[in-house]
């Protein structure tokens, strides 16, 4: 069953209570805190134990779930110090996820350097192996996202297969695989069986600057219906989490974003 979630980056200035109210208004079931960005909800890697317990209880009492902890950890880092920092960040996120009842954490590959992809995959896989024992002990799945230098799903799959551990999976960001011209059926065949979580942000190609601008779900050039339908048919049991990034203190419409993506998600699901 595919359920609707949101990252705290949609509503960075909201308290936990405000987030719960907003999620309930717009039919969201899961929250994905983005640690390290100073969001008002207070979900950080050094969050005190009592605050972790209290936050988890508030969500459970509301019939909601903390579905993922998002980090900025990058496992393809060539610099040993940078990699050590990412490993430590992931380990701390694993502990936070356990305390909050979240089954998965998000990580990146990041910049992978030069040379043959074969060596980049091997190096990145060896880095992920460093957190697998801790993830297994705590019962958390670490996910590598289709993002940055790792938008091509075959290369992400290669890392996961090289690690060959049940506690490493994939976060499928549908925007990035499509930006790299992958057909949804191709991506599904490549990483569908490894996917544990989804990121949602529709986009429209902007001819003026050559980039892609985030828009409401269903208002852009990206196809979310086909991948969600294929995943639903395959029995995917996870969250479709809205990743629209608003900076704390900036002018933004958190309420409107939740409404747009909530309405868009239900329209897609009802079409199956």
pLDDT tens-digit series, residues 38-78: 999 999 999 999 999 999 999 999 999 999 999 999 999 99
Q: Say whether pLDDT at 211 is over 90.
A: no
Q: Are 31 and 8 in contact (CB under 8 A)?
A: yes
Query: Do the Cβ atoms of 240 and 5 come closer than 8 Å?
Result: yes
CATH code at 83?
A: 3.20.20.150
Averaged over 203-212, what is the pLDDT?
86
pLDDT over threshold 90, residue 184: yes
pLDDT at 266 (0 to 100): 97
pLDDT tens-digit readout, 217-235 = 999 999 999 999 999 999 9
The answer, yes or no, to whether residue 125 has pLDDT greater than 90, is yes
| pLDDT per position as a tens digit, 252-264 | 999 999 999 999 9
Look at residue 210 in the predicted model and tell me its pLDDT: 79
- Total count of residues recorded for the chain: 272
Burial class (CB in 10 A: 0-12, 13-18, 19+), 4: buried
Identify the domain containing residue 223 by its residue range.
2-270
Q: What is the mean pLDDT of the chain?
A: 97
Q: Say yes or no to pLDDT of 26 above 90.
A: yes
Mean pLDDT of 87-113: 97
pLDDT of residue 208: 79
CA dist., res. 267 & res. 244, Å (int): 19
Cα distances (angstroms) measured from residue 121 to each of 90, 107, 160, 247: 19, 15, 9, 33
144 Cβ contact list (under 8 Å, min separation 6): 75, 107, 108, 109, 128, 150, 156, 159, 160, 168, 169, 170, 171
pLDDT of residue 61: 98
- Tell me what the mean pLDDT of segment 167-182 comes to: 97
Please give the tally of structural domains in the chain: 1
- φ, ψ for residue 199 (rounded to 5)? -115, 140
- As a whole number of angstroms, the distance between CA 144 and CA 199 comes to 12
Residue 164 CB: number of other CB atoms within 10 A? 10
> Considering the chain, what percentage of its residues have pLDDT values greater than 90?
94
pLDDT at 114 over 90: no
């Amino acid at each position: 069953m595919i359920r609707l979630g949101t990252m705290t980056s949609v509503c960075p200035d909201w308290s936990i209570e405000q987030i719960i109210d907003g999620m309930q208004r717009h039919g969201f079931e899961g929250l994905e805190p983005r640690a390290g960005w100073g969001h008002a909800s207070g979900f950080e890697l050094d969050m005190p134990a009592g605050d972790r317990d209290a936050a988890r209880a508030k969500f459970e009492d509301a019939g909601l779930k903390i579905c993922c902890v998002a980090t900025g950890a990058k496992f393809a880092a060539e610099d040993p110090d940078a990699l050590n920092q990412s490993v430590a960040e992931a380990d701390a996120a694993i502990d936070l996820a356990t305390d909050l009842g979240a089954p998965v954490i998000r990580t990146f590959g990041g910049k992978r350097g030069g040379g043959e992809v074969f060596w980049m995959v091997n190096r990145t896989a060896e880095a992920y192996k460093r957190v697998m024992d801790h993830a297994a002990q705590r019962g958390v799945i670490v996910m590598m996202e289709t993002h940055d230098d790792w938008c091509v799903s075959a290369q992400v799959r290669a890392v996961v297969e090289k690690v060959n551990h049940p506690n490493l999976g994939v976060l499928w960001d549908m925007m990035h695989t499509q930006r790299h011209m992958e057909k949804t059926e191709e991506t599904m065949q490549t990483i569908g069986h490894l996917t544990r979580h989804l990121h949602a942000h529709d986009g429209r190609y902007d001819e003026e600057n050559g980039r892609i601008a985030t828009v409401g779900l269903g208002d852009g050039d990206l196809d979310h219906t086909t991948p969600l339908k294929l995943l639903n048919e395959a029995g995917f049991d996870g969250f479709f989490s809205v990743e629209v990034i608003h900076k704390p203190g900036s002018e933004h419409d958190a309420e409107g974003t939740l409404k747009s993506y909530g309405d868009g998600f239900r329209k897609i699901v009802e079409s199956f």
